[in-house]
Chain A
Amino acid sequence: MATYILKRLLQTVIVLWGVSLVTFVLMNVVPGDPVLLMLEKRATPEAVERIRHEMGLDRPKTTQYFDFVSKAARLDLGRSYFTKEPVMTALTRRFGVTLRLASSAYAIALLLGISAGVASALQRGGAFDSLVRGGAVIGISAPVFWVAIILQMSFGLRLGWFPISGIRSDWSFVLPAIALGIRYMASISRVTRTSMLEVISQDYIRTARAKGLAERVVILKHALKNALIPIITLAGSELGNLLAGSMLTEWVFAIPGIGKLMVDSILMRDLPMLQGTVLYIAVVFVLSNLTVDISYAFIDPRIRYLKGD
């Protein structure tokens, strides 16, 4: 087990190094000189040279890269061109907001998605099953900004139950969390249903019933634990998506999270900030995949012994 985790951690470090390289290269090939962007056209060529020198942009690219990596390793990602705020500080502040939004959406998606999937598998072909399957198709296909606007119009404007933009209270998170969670809920319910259907036809489920166990125990203990493996894969990759990809939701609901920060940085060509958010997203993805892999090993003993000790 320990060997397995150690191995995965080592792989993670390699992936992160690759990500830093790609990020750096991308930032250097995007059109537009950051110094010119900062100073605009009024600056004299001398001033531009001076600033370029101050920012270390006149050094060789390799030196700049190693400087970037060594600073990034110490969690120093530079400062915003415009607000002069350290990128790391902005990311940390925004991360709290994104985390709240993502975890609410995640909780909704997991709780409702798994229970709907299990119930629908158990009543295969019934009315509830059709409802869940139909709902899942809509949930997966509906674009998040559309869902967001529909929610704002119906529950925000017409019924006036929840605020529709900004974050003034906990209630502000309700509509964004639903908008963000709904498609994950849909895909989780589908995967749960499929996985459950496969598991409940297995021989060991018949064995569990032959032992005289109550149906509740058969489903929740014997079936669900086996059915969880594909659900965790999906849920894990979606955790990454939720923490990184709530750009649209945050933008529509004007929630000052990482996603909105990224969109703002793109619009303003705030390269250090953009670089920071890209790096953040990569790290979130890598770490959530790592968490998923490790949790597999806890749930499925076969993986633990196969890859581990």
Chain B
Amino acid sequence: MAETGELAGRRESALLEVRGLRTNFNTKHGSVRAVDDISFSMARGETVGIVGESGCGKSVTALSIMRLISEPGRVEGGEVLFGGRDLLKLSQSEMRKIRGNKIAMIFQEPMTSLNPVLTVGSQISEVLRLHERLNRRDAAARAVEMLSVVNIPAPEKRVHEYPHQLSGGMRQRVMIAMALCCKPDVLICDEPTTALDVTIQAQIISLIEDLKDKTGAAVMMITHDLGVISGISDRVIVMYSGRIIEEGTKMDVLTNPLHPYTEGLLNAIPRIDLDCDELKVIPGMVPNPAFLPEGCHFRPRCADARGICLKEPQPVAAAGNTGPRTVRCWKYLPDWRSA
């Protein structure tokens, strides 16, 4: 993989580094590659946005890092380096000490991600009792404290309530409290605002931002919403059908997209300040992961595609205005002009 000296330098100080991650799902059509050779890193205190359409492998990447992929899925290769160790090689019991403690995760569906038959207090204190070895009373007290940290009013009352008694936004706050109670180094947010109202979305995003600043955690923000990305991220990773196709600082990627797909995504955002009759769309559909096109996966939908795109493009470093960036497209490779 082509890397600039600057990129390599940053990787050394990385808190979490993913190298060549591959996750497959065994289906009746054979082995389907949901995540294909993904590499990226996150530094302490950094927010990395992972953006892409449904089914592009964002969530599978997150679950692979947590080693929560269940049958018929399987992490087939790669490394997830965290604290000098490869998480993919840890035993189950070592991995359990990391989950919810060093690396925590917030899920998309606050309605179904909390256990309906346990009080929110017990679901929070459970984590504290497990990882911080607190006794029942201290853990309960900390649970109340955590609820007030995530701005839930009357926390001492709410702590005894069940998930069905809380609104969606409240439940997501509980999830955040649960994820942050052991002060994790990495917080993975898998579409935390998708299921919420727009006003609540903004509150949740600013809450995550705020708590990130307080705890110094690195945040991986998975979303299909470029608005969320522009609000919170330092860096952006764009995924398309299992691969990273572009990576760079938020400023670079959002103002000067290199990959035709990123460009299409940004053009598809309706703008109130421009007069247009029709919404712009990217023609075609996301390919079925069981039947991926040869070469570049975006080729069938790409206006710029040429014969060379039938071969697989490799990531290439490109010039960024505000930081290092890479793109995975033949347009930025020397062979393009001769193709």
Contacts and interface: CB of A to CB of B under 8 A. Distances in A.
B43 interface: no
Interface stretch (A136-144, A145-153, A198-206): A198-206
A305 B98 CA distance: 37
A43 to B, nearest CB: 65
Contacts of B95: 212
A226 B131 CA distance: 24
A210 B100 contact: yes
Interface in B49-108: 66, 68, 92-93, 95-101, 104-105, 107
A301 B99 CA distance: 28
A213 B97 CA distance: 9
A302 interface: yes
A3 B115 CA distance: 26
A159 interface: no
Contacts of B101: 212
Contacts of A208: 115
Contact of B113 (A206, A221, A305): A206
B141 interface: no
A302 B116 contact: yes
A214 interface: yes
A209 B118 contact: no
Contacts of B117: 225-226, 299-301
Given A212-B130, A212-B131, A214-B96, A207 B115 contact: yes
B118 A203 contact: no
Interface in A190-224: 202-204, 206-215, 221-222
Contacts of A202: 112
Instruction: Give the interface SS of chain B, mostly helix, strand, loop or mixed.
Output: mixed
B115 A210 contact: no
Counting chain A CB atoms within 10 Å of each CB, which of B95, B113, B127, B165 scores highest?
A: B113
Interface string A157-185: 00000000000000000000000000000
B115 A226 contact: yes
A222 B123 CA distance: 10
Nearest to A300: B117
Contact of A207 (B114, B131, B164): B114
Contacts of A211: 99-100, 126-127, 130, 178
A203 B107 contact: yes
B40 interface: no
B263 interface: no
B116 A206 contact: no
Contacts of B104: 210
B115 A213 contact: no
A121 to B, nearest CB: 13
Contacts of B164: 301-302, 305
Nearest to B119: A301
B77 to A, nearest CB: 22
A209 B99 contact: yes
A200 B95 CA distance: 20
Given A204-B114, A226-B116, A302-B164, A213 B96 contact: yes
B66 A210 contact: yes
Contacts of A225: 117-118
Contact of B116 (A204, A209, A210, A221): A204
Contacts of A299: 117
A207 to B, nearest CB: 5
Counting chain A CB atoms within 10 Å of each CB, which of B109, B115, B131 scores highest?
A: B115
A204 B113 contact: yes
Contacts of A213: 96, 100, 126, 130
Contact of A302 (B105, B127, B162): B162
Interface string B169-187: 0000001001000000000
Contacts of A203: 107, 109, 112-113
A48 to B, nearest CB: 64
A133 to B, nearest CB: 19
Interface string B116-136: 111000000011001100000
Counting chain B CB atoms within 10 Å of each CB, which of A203, A215, A299 scores highest?
A: A203
A223 to B, nearest CB: 9
Interface in B266-297: none
Contacts of A221: 118
A89 to B, nearest CB: 44
B60 to A, nearest CB: 13
Nearest to A213: B130
A82 B315 CA distance: 96
Interface string A218-241: 000110011000000000000000
A53 B47 CA distance: 94
Interface of A: 202-204, 206-215, 221-222, 225-226, 299-302, 305
Given A210-B66, A211-B126, 20 more contacts: A203-B112, A204-B115, A204-B116, A206-B68, A206-B107, A206-B113, A207-B113, A210-B100, A210-B105, A211-B99, A211-B100, A211-B130, A214-B96, A221-B118, A225-B117, A226-B117, A302-B116, A302-B164, A305-B162, A305-B164
- Of all A-B residue pairs in the complex, the 6 with the closest CB atoms, nearest first, are A211-B100, A212-B99, A212-B100, A203-B112, A301-B162, A204-B115
18 contacts: A202-B112, A203-B107, A203-B113, A204-B114, A208-B115, A210-B66, A211-B99, A211-B127, A211-B130, A211-B178, A212-B99, A213-B130, A225-B117, A226-B115, A226-B116, A226-B117, A302-B162, A305-B164
